[in-house]
Amino acid sequence: MSDDSGGVSDDSGGVSDDGFEAGASRSQGDPRVLIAMNIALSAGFSATIVWGLDLLGAADLTFINVATGAILLFALTYVITLQ
């Protein structure tokens, strides 16, 4: 006979607490991955913001402006997540 619960069940007939959510809540993750994701997302978001400011005529779309925005955004999110 086949077990339809995917092989994960407890004695009460329900699904046990050893699923993805329980594992993800206990996992700290690799800090290098978090930093790399923060860099990539900060750069993309900064480029979008500077592009929008360029459309409005408030700032020029240059590498320096995008890099400055990315560094500021990276630093802000890094400090906020340390708390």
Sign for the pseudo-dihedral over CA of 63, 65, 68, 70: negative
Residue of 15, 10, 76 whose CA lies nearest to 42: 76
Tell me what percent of the residues of the chain surpass a pLDDT of 70. Answer: 75
Q: Where are the beta strands (DSSP E) in 1-83?
A: none
Lowest mean per-residue pLDDT among 4-18, 28-42, 64-78: 4-18
Supply the pTM of this predicted model.
Answer: 0.66
Residue 4 — very low, low, confident or very high, per pLDDT cuts 50/70/90?
A: low
pLDDT for the residue 19: 72
Q: What is the predicted pLDDT for the residue at 6?
A: 55
| Mean pLDDT on 56-61 | 96
